[in-house]
Amino acid sequence: NHVMGGYKDLSTHGPSSVHPTSPPRVGTIPLNPAQISSSGDAIAYGTAKLAAERLAMTLGELYGDVTSFVVLRIGWCQPGENLPCTLSAAGSPPEFLSDGGDEVVVEEASEDDKKDELWYKGMWLSNRDFLGYFGAAIDLDVPTTEEEAAVNRRDNATANDDESCSSGVHRNVRKGFVLVNAMSKNSDAKWNLEETEKWFGVVSKDDSIA
């Protein structure tokens, strides 16, 4: 997710360390310079996504008694079958990188590409888990007052929560608004899914490494 892509290369953050309440670090910058030229402006893209999250948060605070917003920070979804074996730093399976002309030649991955690939595999969201999350989001009982949201934040707090984040500017549960991570249960991924499981009552089933 490009809103939190800046955590990709931070050695200070290990498995399950990136929570929905973690401060945003927009942009997923490839280590391989050749990939940067073809991947577009990840910082601008991530900033636009963050702005949309904040818009939903603000509308929820204003109108949360009559409407609600459930924000899923969706992981890496490929077109088509979306299989772990086709995950790469290129972003899409080889057959989707062609414009219908010549066959795409897949170059051997560099060491930087391999490091980036681990991040993408940790962020992978399978088609099955995608459907499970969205089905739960549709039926989610979102707090309709800030008082109710505060109670829910306290009840759903995890042992690793930073109180300054869960109760401050980056709090992910508010009046009319809930924000969670939405990735599959990938081994050694930095993404923390505890709140996703508690709020949605859904445990992801797939693992890109298994």
The structure tokens listed for 177 are 């608004």
Q: What confidence category does residue 114 fall into, taking pLDDT thresholds of 50, 70 and 90? A: confident
**CA 35/CA 32 separation, integer angstroms:** 5
Q: What confidence category does residue 112 fall into, taking pLDDT thresholds of 50, 70 and 90? A: confident
Smallest Cα–Cα separation from 181: which of 96, 102, 117, 122? 122
| CB burial readout 164-179, b (16+ within 10 A) else e | ebbeeebbbbbbbbbb
45 SS3 class: helix
**CA 24/CA 197 separation, integer angstroms:** 21
Q: What is the pLDDT of residue 96?
A: 54
Residue 164: pLDDT over 50? no
pTM for this one? 0.86
